[in-house]
């Protein structure tokens, strides 16, 4: 009985789903993602300064975005994108990094799929 309970607990602790890494040379110019998605930043991100994230995706999609650095916990910074004028939009902000690094990863969650888009902040 204890073994069955332990297996159930471990199965429910699977963590985050596997992510697909997508190269994006210039998020300000826009990038194409799998499944016909497109994303664009309003301007080059800087820490603790707001910018817009826009994504072209089907109308019945659920989108969330967060920002991370490899090997560094960045705290809770999850945004839900809302439908505006034929695309999805969120006003977002990079969290503070006390080490001064500029190597960021946008984690874009789209209906249970996760895309990781590395980019550099200004």
**pLDDT score at 10:** 36
| Tokens matching residue 85 | 């004028």
Q: What is the C-alpha separation between 41 and 111, in angstroms, rounded?
A: 21
What is the pTM assigned to this prediction? 0.82
Q: Rounded CA gap, 59 and 56, in Å?
A: 9
Position 15 scores a pLDDT of: 54
- Given this model, what pLDDT does residue 74 score? 83
Give residues with Cβ within 8 angstroms of 98, minimum separation 6: none
| Separation between Cα atoms, residue 52 and residue 121, nearest integer Å | 14
Percent of the chain with pLDDT over 70: 86
- The domains located in the chain, with CATH, are 15-120 (2.20.130)
pLDDT in tens, 32-82: 999 999 999 999 999 889 999 999 999 999 999 999 998 888 888 999 999
């Amino acid at each position: 009985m204890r073994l069955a309970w332990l297996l159930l607990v471990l199965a429910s602790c699977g963590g985050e789903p596997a992510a697909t890494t997508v190269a994006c040379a210039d998020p300000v110019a826009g990038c194409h993602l799998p499944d016909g998605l497109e994303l664009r930043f309003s301007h080059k991100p800087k820490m603790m300064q707001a910018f817009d994230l826009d994504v072209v995706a089907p109308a019945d999609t659920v989108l969330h975005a967060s920002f991370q650095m490899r090997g560094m916990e960045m705290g809770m910074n999850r945004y839900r994108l809302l439908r505006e004028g034929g695309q999805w939009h969120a006003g977002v902000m990079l969290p503070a990094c006390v080490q001064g690094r500029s190597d960021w990863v946008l984690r874009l969650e789209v209906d249970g799929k996760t895309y990781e888009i590395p980019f550099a902040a200004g």
